[in-house]
Amino acid sequence: MSTQNADWGNAIVIDPKRLSALATDVQQLRRHRLFLQSTLAALALIALSVSLTAYSQADRLTRLSREVQEQRKNAETSSLALATLSRSHQNILSATTLAPSVGTKSWGRRFVVTKYLPTSPAYGKFNTGKTSTLLKADPKARIVAVDPKVIPYGSWIWIEGLGWYQAQDCGAWIKGFRLDVLTATEKDALEYGKQERFAIVVPPDGAGGPTPRA
């Protein structure tokens, strides 16, 4: 188009300084956009870090909660054990009170305690119905089998939770610190099983021995 036909009446004239200012504004906007993008990325990283930290703390709190519960269970178990020991100690004191003749030759310790029947096929040829000291194997007589090398026959023995028994029998499996209490029924023997109990041994020459009590 020739300049002769140009419509200069509608032409827009822009000051070069204004164009320069607009170019500067555009650059600033671009820099601001980059700043915002960088800030947004940093915030995203911070949020991720916070989330990971929160997850770690939550996991730690869960572990601590489990440890607290475990410690509570241990404390309850310890309390029960202490209560049991306290009762055992009281029973032992009661036993010695009931037997004032317990002298300096008496002694006590923990034994493995079981129960056996007066007649059982397990004894084979020894199934005579009599004890090693030739007494009648009567559960009412409160007889206990012992290792004679440890506890002499005729000794009185107080067994925690069971009471007083007299050592009048032995057995092939009753060696060392073992006690086998004569009982009337297989059901009682099986239900009792094998237990550890504190026992006080009063030798037959221990000032006459105690009066037997349950």
Condensed to tens digits (0 to 9), the pLDDT of residues 23-77 reads 777 788 888 788 888 888 888 888 887 877 777 777 777 877 777 777 777 677 6
Calculate mean pLDDT across residues 159-179: 91
Condensed to tens digits (0 to 9), the pLDDT of residues 6-19 reads 555 555 556 666 66
Assigned superfamily of 104-202: RlpA-like domain (2.40.40.10)
What letter represents residue 125's amino acid? K
Condensed to tens digits (0 to 9), the pLDDT of residues 144-158 reads 999 999 999 999 999
> What pLDDT is recorded for position 34?
81
Pick 24 or 131 by higher pLDDT. Answer: 131
Q: Are the CB atoms for 143 and 165 separated by under 8 Å?
A: yes
For the purposes of burial, counting CB atoms within 10 Å of the CB of 204, is it exposed (0-12), middle (13-18) or buried (19 or more)? middle
- Of 213, 58, 47, the closest CA to residue 142 belongs to 213
> What pLDDT is recorded for position 124?
44
Pick 105 or 94 by higher pLDDT. Answer: 105
At 156, give phi and psi (nearest 5°): -95, 135
| CB count in 10 Å sphere of residue 114 | 19
